[in-house]
Amino acid sequence: MRLILVVVFLLQIINSAKAQSQLTFSEVESRSYKLYLEQKWDSLIDYVHTANKAGIEYYYLQARLGAALYEKKKYRSAAFTFQKALKYNSSDSYAKRSLYYSLLNSNNTTASRYLSGKSESIRKETDTLRYNRIGFIYAEGGVKICNKKEPLGNMNYLNLGLRHSLGRRINLYHAFTFLGQYKHYQQIKQSSYYLGAWIQLGVNWKVCPSAHLFWITKSQQTEIPIGPPRPLARASKSNEQAVSLVLQRSFRVFDLGAMASYNNFDSISAGQFGGYVTLYPFGSNVFSATTTVVYHTRKMSTYQTILKETINLRLLKFLWITGEYAYGNEQVQFNPEAAFPANNSIDPNNYRYSILLTSPVSKSVSLYGFYQHEDKDEIITDPISHNITRINYTFNSIIFGLKIKL
């Protein structure tokens, strides 16, 4: 029986290879054009792939495949197919326009703007439709609830963000954040400004530099009291900085990125180096999964290697969910756009997980809710005995936000 199954399998492979080798240019042209006119998109996609495997590729065949993928809302795959079509006919206006809208509908807005700057016809058409005027305002706020209010405390969080374009190659994101923590013996007020850029180097290449500045004020007593709180006696101010750089290359079903950062949190210089891969198994942005690996040069407890897994999924037509799990203390987060642009706490993160729900309520307004759980350690060294005390605690963050398209 096993021998029979093996023979049948081999015969199927041989017959398939023969069928492919027997395909002719005129047959492929006639059949693919007929399927295109009949709008049988699934059959057209399968047939073109078969023809490609047989070594038959030309402009009109790739353009029809791109149209079929676009109609099936596989915009990412459609974009790469239209790029392939343009290799056979670089001046074709249909393929250029289709590539632009494929990039736009796959949320690759920076690349679509870059492409519009390369084509006068696309620029005129899309500028009239306002597709190239990108701008968003973010407003969000919430609380970080600590399970141990003594000696720790809850945090209040507010953030205002602005995303806008600068020319046709660059998108900028500004974030102004306030974070306040009120402990038994100490009050911490932190203001920060974040600036990130998305710079398109080509249709499939982009670089993302960013800078984050923190202004921190701590008001505390001269000694940690035993008993009820006393008036705060002294205050101190400090500044911290973080910078990062990401280089990304996009392929048909995945993005590949390399990244690095530098920070001076707690007056100690440290760096992070790593990379990530984002998979788009269905050729669209309906589902994606990102795996990130980062090495931290500063020893944060025992966690110098950070592993992070992120999944983005459209549950319903008007509901997106993003889930993330991170093992280790990733202090500088790369490419943030909402909810904690950076984590500059000196306390080691054992792990954290988060869920982000986003729902567009109109063409211009989206609402989102964010929940994050952090398991952390605070390490306290006694100034006299030098004994080390490790306090395990958790933060549960709840944030709600509003995103408005300008």
Write the DSSP string, 188-240.
EEEEEEEEEEEEEEETTEEEEEEEEEEEEEEEE-SS--SSS-----EEEEEEE
Model pLDDT, residue 360: 92
Residues 181 and 313 in one domain: yes
**Of 10-24, 25-39, 104-118, 346-360, minimum mean pLDDT range:** 10-24
Specify if 102 maps to a domain.
Answer: yes
Helices (H), 89-150: 93-105, 109-118, 120-128
Residues 233 and 99 in one domain: no
Helix (H, G, I), strand (E, B) or coil at 300: coil
Residue 302 banded pLDDT, cuts 50, 70, 90: low
Tell me how far CA of residue 97 lies from CA of 36, 115, 218, in angstroms: 18, 9, 55
User: Which CATH number is 393's domain given?
Assistant: 2.40.160.60
Specify if 214 maps to a domain.
Answer: yes
C-alpha 66/C-alpha 61 separation (Å) is 9
Instruction: Kindly give, in sequence order, each residue whose CB lies less than 8 Å from that of residue 308, ignoring residues fewer than 6 positions away.
Output: 290, 291, 292, 293, 294, 324, 325, 326, 327, 330
Res. 10: pLDDT tops 60: no
Residues 139 and 54 in one domain: no
Model pLDDT, residue 148: 80
Name the domain count of the chain. 2
Residues 233 and 305 in one domain: yes
Summarize pLDDT for 350-396 with one digit per residue, the tens: 899 999 999 999 989 999 999 999 998 877 766 677 777 788 899 99
Specify if 77 maps to a domain.
Answer: yes
Model pLDDT, residue 317: 82
Specify if 1 maps to a domain.
Answer: no
User: Which CATH number is 122's domain given?
Assistant: 1.25.40.10
Specify if 40 maps to a domain.
Answer: yes
CA-based nearest residue to 144, from 367, 323, 402, 399? 399
Residues 120 and 139 in one domain: no
Summarize pLDDT for 156-194 with one digit per residue, the tens: 999 999 999 988 899 999 999 999 987 766 788 999 999
Residues 326 and 218 in one domain: yes
Max mean pLDDT range (130-134, 194-198, 254-258): 254-258
Pick the residue with more confidence: 230 or 147? Answer: 147
C-alpha 189/C-alpha 158 separation (Å) is 12
Contact 356, 321 (CB under 8 A): yes
Res. 149: pLDDT tops 80: no
Residues 154 and 81 in one domain: no
Model pLDDT, residue 143: 92
Among 85, 104, 127, identify where a domain stops. 127
C-alpha 370/C-alpha 402 separation (Å) is 11
Percent of the chain with pLDDT over 70: 86
Pick the residue with more confidence: 227 or 41? Answer: 41
Res. 227: pLDDT tops 80: no
Among 86, 108, 127, identify where a domain stops. 127
Token digits for 343?
């984590």
Specify if 15 maps to a domain.
Answer: no
C-alpha 58/C-alpha 80 separation (Å) is 15
Summarize pLDDT for 81-138 with one digit per residue, the tens: 999 999 999 889 999 999 999 999 998 988 999 999 888 888 888 888 777 777 899 9
Residues 141 and 103 in one domain: no
Mean pLDDT across the chain: 86
C-alpha 367/C-alpha 363 separation (Å) is 12
Res. 341: pLDDT tops 60: no
Residues 117 and 151 in one domain: no
Specify if 339 maps to a domain.
Answer: yes
Specify if 2 maps to a domain.
Answer: no
C-alpha 49/C-alpha 47 separation (Å) is 5
C-alpha 303/C-alpha 342 separation (Å) is 18
Model pLDDT, residue 69: 97
| Residue numbers of the domain that contains 268 | 135-405
Residues 93 and 180 in one domain: no
Q: What is the pTM of this model?
A: 0.85
Model pLDDT, residue 20: 47
Among 127, 153, 176, identify where a domain stops. 127
Percent of the chain with pLDDT over 90: 57
* Mean pLDDT within 288-314: 88
Residues 165 and 303 in one domain: yes
Residues 81 and 212 in one domain: no
Res. 294: pLDDT tops 50: yes
